[in-house]
Structure 1
Amino acid sequence: MLSTESRDARRVAGEVVDPEMPMLTLADLGVLRGVEVSGDAVTVTITPTYSGCPALAEMRDDLREALHGAGYREVEVRTVLSPPWSTDWISERGRRKLAEAGVAPPDRVGERPAGPVPLNLEPLSARVPCPHCGAPSTEELSRFGPTACTALRRCPACREPFEHVRPL
């Protein structure tokens, strides 16, 4: 069972928003892996969405700022790459927040084998539902959206463009 201090530090760290998808917290996104407290020092462990994530430095800075603001004098942010992050780690609340913001959440990909995880850049299925009108099929406009984790799609029913978080 977590101590009161650990629960407080986890709550503070979990409320930090993702710099690229600010509708999600780091906890919603599933990158927050652990929070350990010892006195007025806290160690936070995160797993980036991929090893080259350009938002990683900002995540670290935002975590340090939030935890210092909560009274923790020493803040260490560790990055772990194993196991690799998966879109399956996005919480149900995070998936709802994505859809509410007009971003199609990824399908669940399930269990992964041990070892390297291949990145599939093949075209996405047309079975990505529209987050605006709910139409069951949409079309891919670009494999790459504003972030490396997203693709751009459009709904033929309502004609609205939207981002889709690519399942990894």
Structure 2
Amino acid sequence: MKGTITQEAVYQSLAKVMDPEIPVLNILELGMITEVTVGAESIEIKMIPTFAACPAIEVIKQQIRTAVEEDLHVPVTVIVDKTVQWNSNRLSPEAKEKLRNFRIAPPQILQGEVEMEMLEHTVCPHCGSENTYLRSPFGSTLCRAIHYCRNCGMMFEQFKPLS
């Protein structure tokens, strides 16, 4: 390995890996990385999907491998960390703001179990109104719900709160 590779360098590479379903968010903002181990001649990265049945897991693992190997020129192993379960509180404040700007309502902060009320009372990312209703708990992906805003008349998705 040429020179010493730092964890900071690995994280800089990881920041380039965008979520394939929400391309304005990177995997660090989503809280998907649980551990980075820089070895003498390789790097091991542990990650978690945002949803247990996420169809993009293999794509994301490959994108992680490609980004880090291209930037740092060492072999990279990506492992799905089965000791940690993703929850929506792992989203960074930057991720929540980017979701709003992308017109997806971010999830509320969870303290305990997910309640139906958390889906029903969602602020519209288009106009900021709280005068919205849950149209369907099932959106375009497993991690989203569909809402309607009575004020601006826009339909929008919400990134579901998950515990």
**How does the TM-score come out when normalised to structure 1?**
0.87
Distance in structure 2 (CA, Å) of the matches to 1:54 and 1:62: 14
Distance in structure 2 (CA, Å) of the matches to 1:82 and 1:137: 39
Percent of aligned pairs with the same amino acid: 28
Specify the code of the residue in structure 2 equivalent to 1:5.
T
Q: What does residue 20 of structure 2 align with?
A: 19
**How many pairs were matched up?**
159
Q: What does residue 53 of structure 1 align with?
A: 54
| Aligned-pair Cα RMSD in Å | 1.9
Specify the code of the residue in structure 1 equivalent to 2:156.
F
Q: Which of 150, 155, 158 lines up with 1:161 in the alignment? A: 155
Distance in structure 2 (CA, Å) of the matches to 1:147 and 1:86: 16
SS at 2:29 equivalent: helix
Unaligned runs of 5+ in 1: 113-117
Distance in structure 2 (CA, Å) of the matches to 1:51 and 1:125: 19
The answer to whether residue 142 in structure 2 is matched with residue 142 in structure 1 is: no
Pick which of 101-110 and 124-133 moved more. Answer: 124-133
Q: What does residue 72 of structure 1 align with?
A: 73
Pick which of 42-51 and 122-131 moved more. Answer: 122-131
Report the alpha carbon displacement of residue 124 of structure 1 after superposing the two structures with TM: 5.1
Specify the code of the residue in structure 2 equivalent to 1:8.
A
Does the CA-based 8 Å contact 1:14-1:25 persist in structure 2?
Answer: yes
Distance in structure 1 (CA, Å) of the matches to 2:33 and 2:16: 10
